[in-house]
Structure 1
Amino acid sequence: MLNKAQEIIDLCREKNCHIYDLVIENECKTLKMTEEELRAYVDKVIEVMKDSAKSNLTKSDETRFKMIDGFSKITYKYATDKEPIIGRFAAKAMAMAFSTSEVNAAMGKIIAAPTAGSSGIMPAMLVAASERYNFDKETLQNGFLTSVGIGQIIGKYATFAGAEGGCQAECGSASAMATSALVEMLGGSPEEILNAASITLINVLGLVCDPIAGLVQYPCTFRNASGVINAFIAADLALAGVKSIVPFEEVVQAMSEVGTSLDEGLRETGLGGLAGTKTGQAIRKNFLNLEEKND
């Protein structure tokens, strides 16, 4: 897989192909799969995503500390019954992002895309966009495979780990992958896809990772909800013709440098940010006490 934005754009133009075509070629070679087998596997992944995005829209799981219980159901009802400020489409997408976060917190089945803490963003985008635009199966596959290519670039130049790069590396990366899939599914060019991916990361550079008690629930669930909106915003801007003057791989490198610069307490240690607040520390103490009793 090529690693620089301009190389990818040039090769797609030369071969008259899409980013997902390059991904398919690379993945089939690496995994020793046929394209048909690869697409069948992607179908299974997408189905899990759809299930997690819809699972809690009308019900609520109960978690130990009740930090995020019912957010999906509440938001979905609001989006259905009211006229949300951001519109029903976006509000429902946030509810879907909450849903996967809640399924994850309840130890349900999810797809880490790219991490468990950011797992609500891609499913919410796929389901919301599919319902709105009635994408067929192949279009969804192509979108998802495009996101794989974007993820590979992030993996080369940076990290997906909140403990290394902050939440920008988790929810930021998930948003970049989601927006790339969306732009592809809406007929965008490779250049527009890479511009959208750049914009999503630029929007969250420096975002810290501060989960209370080390649990990817709070504030992570809010960042999943805002992450899918970030993906929508970036897709609109890129499709409108807005460009990032800094190429995608350089934006990713900047994200990596920013992550390294973050104080250790702001990288998934449970010491800083919201995790370091009086309430956050009280929940952490309670969690540790409960864990000791269960040992």
Structure 2
Amino acid sequence: MINEKISLKTWIDEATVRQVPLHTYLLERSSEELELSADAVLEQMAAMLQVMEESVAFGLTGVPSHSGLTGGAAKKLQAARQEAGYKNILGGVVNDAVAYAMAVGECNAAMGRIVAAPTAGASGVLPGVLLALKKHYALEPQQMAEALVVAGNIGLVIANRASLSGAMGGCQAECGSGAAMAAGAAVDVLGGTPEQVGHAVAMVFKNMLGLVCDPVAGLVEVPCIKRNGGAAAQALLAAELALAGITSFIPADEAIDAMKAVGDRLPCTLKETAEGGLAQTTTALAWAKAYFDADSKK
């Protein structure tokens, strides 16, 4: 049926019956859908991963945004770890994932080149998680490419059943979706079962349900960049829980459907209009007025 929703459960069940990792099943499916060889699909994923790595490297230089509102946070977090006596509360993997995620957000705010994963506003979550795992678990290029296939297909399910747009569903649809994609990919690339991938996706949305989209002055900077870092941490939390055998009572497809239902009920003021949330705080309004006043005089 044309209007039939894509089901992550269906793919998970099929991979389970075939006794193959989810990335194996999804790579075959993607190859057929795109009418490309599996190698060609992986080459496309590798090209995207290269851009992600370059985006992180650029963001870690401390580049400021064009507005001057943000920049340097990712570099500062990485530098802090080198200081004597620094308390690394998050630990190496999460600390790196957060720093990398913010670095991509800062690259985006500085008009650098990124991969929308799934959107520009949530572009740092998936790279942050995958590149941190690459560093700490010595992942091979093919494993990284396969992980991106899993992430992309999870995003496809979310886009079909709900939305990836902050203007449609709030930031739960952007950073939340990015975190779900990252969590599922992380579980798969670390050897988790297809079923565990689904539990990780579901747990992300359970933890991020209702997240509003409230960019200060309408710019994808505050709170977006640090929110990418927070979403990366949520993704790794969900992956950790799933890999430990912890399950979600609510299945992934139903969690995605719930996200859509919540997004449909969010008022427009909380969906990328800068008319609610943090964008309407005293500090945010004062900065926005000064910024636009200065811009009008140029």
TM-score scaled to structure 2, two decimals? 0.93
Q: 1:72 aligns with which of 53, 65, 74?
A: 74
What amino acid is aligned across from residue 53 of structure 2 in structure 1?
A: K
Q: 1:100 aligns with which of 98, 104, 114?
A: 104
Displacement after TM superposition at 1:18 (Å): 2.7
Q: RMSD across aligned C-alpha pairs, in angstroms?
A: 1.7
Correspondence 1:200 to 2:210: no
Q: Aligned partners of 1:80, 1:263: CA distance in 2, in Å?
A: 44
Structure 1 pair 184/274, CA: closer, same or farther in 2 (3 Å)?
A: same
Structure 1: gaps spanning 5 or more residues? none
Q: Aligned partners of 2:292, 2:59: CA distance in 1, in Å?
A: 28
| Contact 1:2/1:8 (<8 A) preserved | no
Residue of structure 1 equivalent to 2:39: 36
User: Between Structure 1 and Structure 2, how many residues are aligned?
Assistant: 293
* SS at 2:41 equivalent: helix
Deviates more, 1:218-227 or 1:88-97: 88-97
Give per-residue Cα distances to partners, 1:182-234, cap 9 Å, x unaligned.
11111000000010011111111000000001111100011101111101100
Displacement after TM superposition at 1:245 (Å): 1.3
Give per-residue Cα distances to partners, 1:8-33, cap 9 Å, x unaligned.
23211222223223332332233221
Q: Aligned partners of 1:276, 1:111: CA distance in 2, in Å?
A: 29
Residue of structure 2 equivalent to 1:16: 19
Q: Identity, % of aligned pairs?
A: 35
What does 1:47-58 correspond to in 2, within 5 Å? 47-57=50-60
Deviates more, 1:76-85 or 1:186-195: 76-85
Displacement after TM superposition at 1:61 (Å): 1.3
| Contact 1:79/1:92 (<8 A) preserved | no
What amino acid is aligned across from residue 160 of structure 1 in structure 2?
A: L
Displacement after TM superposition at 1:117 (Å): 0.5
Q: Aligned partners of 1:31, 1:14: CA distance in 2, in Å?
A: 24
* SS at 1:80 equivalent: coil
Displacement after TM superposition at 1:94 (Å): 1.3
Q: Aligned partners of 1:32, 1:80: CA distance in 2, in Å?
A: 48
| Contact 2:9/2:198 (<8 A) preserved | no
* SS at 2:64 equivalent: coil
Displacement after TM superposition at 1:261 (Å): 1.0
Q: Aligned partners of 2:12, 2:29: CA distance in 1, in Å?
A: 16
Residue of structure 1 equivalent to 2:188: 184
Deviates more, 1:139-148 or 1:86-95: 86-95
* SS at 1:86 equivalent: coil
Q: Aligned partners of 2:52, 2:71: CA distance in 1, in Å?
A: 20
Displacement after TM superposition at 1:2 (Å): 8.2
* SS at 2:163 equivalent: coil
Residue of structure 2 equivalent to 1:61: 63
TM-score scaled to structure 1, two decimals? 0.94
What amino acid is aligned across from residue 22 of structure 1 in structure 2?
A: Y
Q: 1:245 aligns with which of 249, 256, 260?
A: 249
Displacement after TM superposition at 1:53 (Å): 1.8
